[in-house]
Amino acid sequence: MKNVLPRKEVPRLRVETTRGMQWDIRDQKPENFTMVIFYRGLHCPVCKSYLEELNRKVEKFQEKGVSVICISANNKTLAEKTVKEWK
């Protein structure tokens, strides 16, 4: 991914969301760009703090035409638990 350039096709990235939707970065059409956050998972207190702060600011990003998705390597059960516990 070292050669990711603006306005060029991005590498393939597909995930299933905790809401059961298939999300594909190539299908995104944000006004400006898509911000992809990779975090370690439910076990990480630093990630929890970071994502809680991001969650407070996500509407401001959206107002600026930035879509946001947060991705971890957690399995579906842990990802759903993260959403529930970290809001």
Interval 3-57: pLDDT, tens: 778 788 888 999 999 999 999 999 999 999 999 999 999 999 999 999 999 999 9
**In this structure, are residues 50 and 84 in contact, taking their beta carbons and an 8 Å threshold?**
no
Six-digit token pair at 80? 């759903």
Helix (H, G, I), strand (E, B) or coil at 40: coil
Which pLDDT does position 1 carry in this prediction? 55
Which pLDDT does position 2 carry in this prediction? 66
